[in-house]
Amino acid sequence: MLADTLKTLGPCLSTDLRDHLVAHHGLSPAAARQRVSRGAPQIKRLAHLPFARRARFLYHQDDYASPRYWEGLYAAIFATNGPYARALGAIQARGVVPFGHFLGACGSPIAQKKQLSARTVLDRMVAANVLVEQALPGLGPCVMTKNTYERHQQSLDELAAAARSRLIAESVLLDSVREWLRRLAMVSFNTVRTRGAEMPRVGTFAWDLTAPSYLTSVLTRLKDKGVKPGWVVCDVLLIENAQLEHVEPFLHKVRSLGALKNIGRTMFILLAQGYDAEAFKTLRSAGIMPATPKSLFGEDVADGFRELIQTLNEAAKGLVDPEKFDQLFSKLGKLEGAVGNMRGAFFELLVAEVVRKTAAGQVKLNKICTGADGNAEVDVYHLNEGITAQMIECKGIAPGTLVDDEEVGLWLTRRITRVRHHLQNLGWSGPRPRFELWTSGSLSAQARERVEKTRLANANKCEIVVVEGDTLRTVVKAVNDASLLKTFEHHFLPQAAA
């Protein structure tokens, strides 16, 4: 009877099943508790994820990983209103989250007494098969729901491209907010930190942007007549309709930070394209600024961010419209700090388009290659079986800017070596593979010398080529695409327009 009842009721907490037996099958609470405790062979219990009142999540074995399984499990998690609910809400809002970003997005502290850390929350939810950690092209280790992973196992590249488009737009927005705060003198100018390889922290929590502030509203005057600066912190969630479960992780961080000692007064900003009424009201009542690109920079810029995500998504699928890139540079270029991130992302996509138009074979973006001592990412991966192996490293920076010598060194030593091992494992038997560095900037004399030495030392194994300046212009002209050339000339090779 119990298995049939659960099959009809659907996956749920053991307490819900017990209450159902009491209400609909005439059992006493004690008898219902014993019946549920004994279980049945077809009834499975979710491990690793504790619920209130020692409840367990139960499901009929036939329901595992079905839509009703996920619906019941998510409902049970959200009903707890705890760290697992906040982590799930953060992931559902974003779809895919790089591991480093998860530490801030999930709402749990990095480390704090009497609270589950972000790492512990993730480990338990992964062990329970609610969340999955998976490396994705161009993003590295990422977190997503098990449901999302199962549905996209054959299309992880597309999933990564969509996430990367949103993350690039969020990076552009964060850089713009940083400059906005600086121009208004709201923060200490050279101390603004934004998310990158490491997440900036205030208190025990990670945030997307942090900066000390000497505004009187957050300043604390000390008894010895000194002053203690406060903080401005900001998280970004660039989705159209942020709901309460999506913003609850941020709300929890705000409440928890207020309870910590020795943390200055803080101004809290959350950035999304829009909010539903409940989320907006709750944020406002908590003293948080629920900002949008439109409220900060105007409707034209807000539309620009929407178009940026859409354009990057389409370009990742090979649908490149250089004129769209031109329009986005014009629309978002007015934001201080925006152009740098856009230039890097657009350069990769445009280089891939040049390769597609001039050669046969598969062209992939952000291909992960596994070598003998680790992985290496190839920005533009062009393989035509038995004919061409062209591996391009892209450095889309401001024209006239020098590529970091350390980056050149990593490319020459670590990345090229690992990709060569990858090709050997594939059984590559064609001509020598070509490793190319394409840049809208230029190389230092020291970097050029190092490239030349490496090229000569490996001449029998591979070709090493740098494409920059006039060489880059010549390659793009050969494509015979006026709009593509125009975009390069205007934003990557401006000296040619003089």
pLDDT tens track, the chain, 498 positions: 799 999 999 999 999 999 999 999 889 999 999 999 998 899 999 999 989 888 999 999 999 999 999 999 999 999 999 999 999 999 999 999 999 999 999 999 999 988 999 999 999 999 999 999 999 988 999 999 999 999 999 889 889 999 999 999 999 999 999 999 999 999 999 999 999 889 999 999 999 999 999 999 898 888 777 888 999 999 999 999 999 999 999 999 999 998 898 898 999 999 999 999 999 999 999 999 999 999 999 999 999 999 999 999 998 888 888 889 888 988 888 887 788 888 999 999 999 999 999 988 889 999 999 999 999 999 999 999 889 999 999 999 999 899 999 999 999 999 999 999 999 999 998 899 999 999 999 999 999 999 999 999 999 999 999 999 899 999 999 999 999 999 999 889 866 443
Q: Is residue 107 part of a domain?
A: yes
Tokens of 128: 């329970």
| Per-residue b or e along 208-241, where b marks 16 or more CB atoms closer than 10 Å to that residue's CB | bbbbbbeeeebeeeeeeeeeebbbbbbbbbbbee
Shared domain check, 212 and 172: yes
CA proximity to 399, closest of 450, 340, 352? 340
Q: Say if residues 273 and 292 touch (Cβ distance below 8 Å).
A: yes
CA–CA distances in Å: residue 376 to residues 8, 158, 291, 410: 50, 20, 38, 10
Measure the CA dihedral 305/311/314/317, to 10°. Answer: -100
Q: Is residue 327 part of a domain?
A: no
Name 296's Cβ contacts closer than 8 Å, sequence gap at least 6: 177, 180, 271
| Per-residue b or e along 167-199, where b marks 16 or more CB atoms closer than 10 Å to that residue's CB | bbbbbbbbbbbbebbbeeebbeeeebbbbeeeb
Shared domain check, 16 and 58: yes
β-pairing, 230-237 vs 266-272, is parallel
Q: In 10 A of CB 390, how many CB atoms? A: 20
Shared domain check, 375 and 481: yes
Three-state helix/strand/coil letters over 115-158: CCCHHHHHHHHHHCCCEEEEEECCCEEEEEEHHHHHHCCCCHHH
Tokens of 389: 């192996």
For the whole model, what pTM was predicted?
0.90
Shared domain check, 190 and 73: no
Single out the residue in 277, 293, 309 at which a domain terminates. Answer: 293
Shared domain check, 493 and 388: yes
Q: Say if residues 349 and 312 touch (Cβ distance below 8 Å).
A: yes
Shared domain check, 420 and 486: yes
CATH classification at residue 120 = 1.10.10.10
pLDDT score at 497: 41
CATH classification at residue 445 = 3.40.1350
Q: In 10 A of CB 53, how many CB atoms? A: 7
Shared domain check, 411 and 462: yes
Name 395's Cβ contacts closer than 8 Å, sequence gap at least 6: 344, 347, 403, 407, 437, 438, 439, 440, 441
CA proximity to 352, closest of 384, 385, 390? 390
User: Which structural domain, as residue segments, surrounds residue 245?
Assistant: 160-293
End-to-end CA distance of the chain: 83
Tokens of 340: 């740098």
CATH classification at residue 193 = 3.40.1350.10
Q: Is residue 338 part of a domain?
A: no
Single out the residue in 271, 293, 315 at which a domain terminates. Answer: 293
Q: How far is CA 457 from the centre of its chain?
A: 38
Q: Is residue 182 part of a domain?
A: yes
Shared domain check, 249 and 166: yes
Single out the residue in 146, 181, 198 at which a domain terminates. Answer: 146
Tokens of 77: 């998690």
Shared domain check, 456 and 382: yes
CA angle 476, 388, 461 (to 5 degrees): 110
CATH classification at residue 50 = 1.10.10
Query: 242 - beta bridge partners?
Result: 275
Name 237's Cβ contacts closer than 8 Å, sequence gap at least 6: 93, 94, 105, 246, 247, 250, 270, 271, 272
Q: How far is CA 233 from the centre of its chain?
A: 19
pLDDT score at 494: 62
Residue whose entry in the numeric block shows the structure tokens 């203690």 = 228
Tokens of 258: 């207020």
Total structural domains within the chain: 4
Query: Can you tell me the distance from the alpha carbon of 347 to that of 491, in angstroms, rounded to the nearest whole number?
Result: 9
Q: Say if residues 142 and 99 touch (Cβ distance below 8 Å).
A: yes
Q: Say if residues 434 and 388 touch (Cβ distance below 8 Å).
A: yes
Q: Is residue 192 part of a domain?
A: yes
Residue whose entry in the numeric block shows the structure tokens 């690109």 = 293
Shared domain check, 116 and 15: no
Shared domain check, 183 and 279: yes
Q: Is residue 332 part of a domain?
A: no
Query: Can you tell me the distance from the alpha carbon of 218 to that of 139, in angstroms, rounded to the nearest whole number?
Result: 36
Q: Is residue 318 part of a domain?
A: no
Shared domain check, 237 and 126: no
Q: Is residue 40 part of a domain?
A: yes
pLDDT score at 68: 96
